[in-house]
Amino acid sequence: MKREKCKVLIVGAGPGGYVCGIRAGQLGLDTIVVEGEKPGGTCLNVGCIPSKALIHAADEFHKAKTFQGDNKLGISLQNAEIDFAKTQKWKDGIVTKLNTGVTGLLKKAKTRLIQGKASIIDGKTVKVAKSEREQIIECEHLVLATGSSPMELPSLPFSDHVISSTEALSLKDVPKDLAIVGGGYIGLEIGTAMAKLGANVTIVEMDQQILPQYDADLVKPVADRLKKLGVTLHLGAKAEGVTPDGALKITTKEAAQEIPADKILVAIGRAPNITGFGVEDLDLKMDGRHIAINDVCATSMRNVFAIGDITGDPMLAHRAMAQGVIVAEHIAGKQSVWDKRAVPAVCFTDPEIVTVGQLPSADAKTATFPFAANGRAMTMEREDGFVRVVYDAESELVLGLQAVGNGVSELAGEFALAMEMCATLTDIADTIHAHPTLGETVQETAHLALGHALHI
């Protein structure tokens, strides 16, 4: 059996693992990344990237459909159609291109990528199975970056008919009737796209509100848009199983119902990939079902680190990337620690939602500026939504920023930067924003909070 040694061994080439590998290589650390599938992890292969491609295609098709009838822009279009197989081929091409890019970036950093199934023997030794061959890799520092997988319900085990987000993004045809269990961001993103592509979409959520992690003001524009798209919502409802003819059985406070479904998408969350390759045998300290870490992402075992989804919420690719950089720099002797206060979260629904920092609370003040008063939003025919700032009344320190609206995901960087730099209302209000842009609303919101709004 082949044996080799390295300074840093990373198990998993998802966003956290491959970024950790690139940064470690840049810092001159002898690094190996082991991955059982294609590099890029869930995000690149079956999550963030393919879902956004599908959302874009659905948006363009839906826009074309609206031009078949009377519209304000005076555009006339006949017989809008979509070749869904071609759409999927385009989406897969993007994924393949990015896979190749990740491999090239690791090579550029002089980090070795070994493809095979990893089995952890101890905190310094990993066995990798490649086809019919096996090899042993010994390391000084072990980084666990194994990601997460879709959760299934006991009453709705995955099958050809009951699918996860992975299968939903690779459907050969748009289902006539799609039932979705789970009203979180994954279910809503895919559900909205499928509704725009022509599916009859029904969403079942146990909570009394879709996107229960957000407040009602942020969610209302999304719920209103779903209604316009013809999406049916069942709130306070529980999925119970599948009928012999494939319908989804649910119960609500009023009665039991059956929802016709060509496919049932279960999108109730993701579980950390901890079992099945030896992590459980390390006897690491846990934080619930996740691996407990400190501010340099170190676990309870010396020189063993964990990053990404296996370390808990928020399960976001950019969080994993940031952690990967911190671990690589820490191993290289640099001062780098994890502080998650300024991690933006984006929900790519229609309209989009972006949040950074603190949501409204009793101990803070808020100011909200509507897109209905923004010229750029008017020219885009999307005046729904707003930008909101949460701030300390005495110091004017910005504690949080949120927005809901068309294209607001692109404000996430500005929001995070304001939080990272400890911006005050005056800092934002005195920063000149280009006109006409959606970003002007951030400046206007700060002016409003200071008591001298200019355009409302």
- Check residue 349 and report its DSSP letter: S
Cα distance between residue 289 and residue 312, in whole Å: 8
Q: Tell me if 1 sits within 8 A of 136, measured CB to CB.
A: yes
Task: State the number of CA atoms in the 13 A half-sphere of 100 facing the CB.
Answer: 6
Distance between CA 109 and CA 9 in Å, rounded? 15
| CA geometry: angle 256, 262, 149, nearest 5 deg | 90
265 alpha carbon, distance to own chain's centre: 17
- C-beta separation of 221 from 154 below 8 A: no
Distance, CA of 102 to CA of 93 (rounded, Å): 14
Contacts 24+ apart (CB under 8 A), 424-429: 424/391, 424/395, 424/396, 424/397, 424/398, 425/389, 425/391, 425/396, 425/398, 425/449, 425/450, 426/396, 426/450, 427/398, 428/389, 428/398
The tokens describing 46, both together, are 């079956």
Establish whether 234 is a catalytic residue. Answer: no
| DSSP label of 268 | S
Annotated active-site residue in 290, 318, 433, 435: 435
Residue 280 half-sphere exposure toward CB, CA atoms < 13 A? 7
* Tokens at 130, concatenated: 């490649």
Q: How far is 15 from 33, CA to CA, in rounded Å?
A: 12
* Catalytic site positions: 435
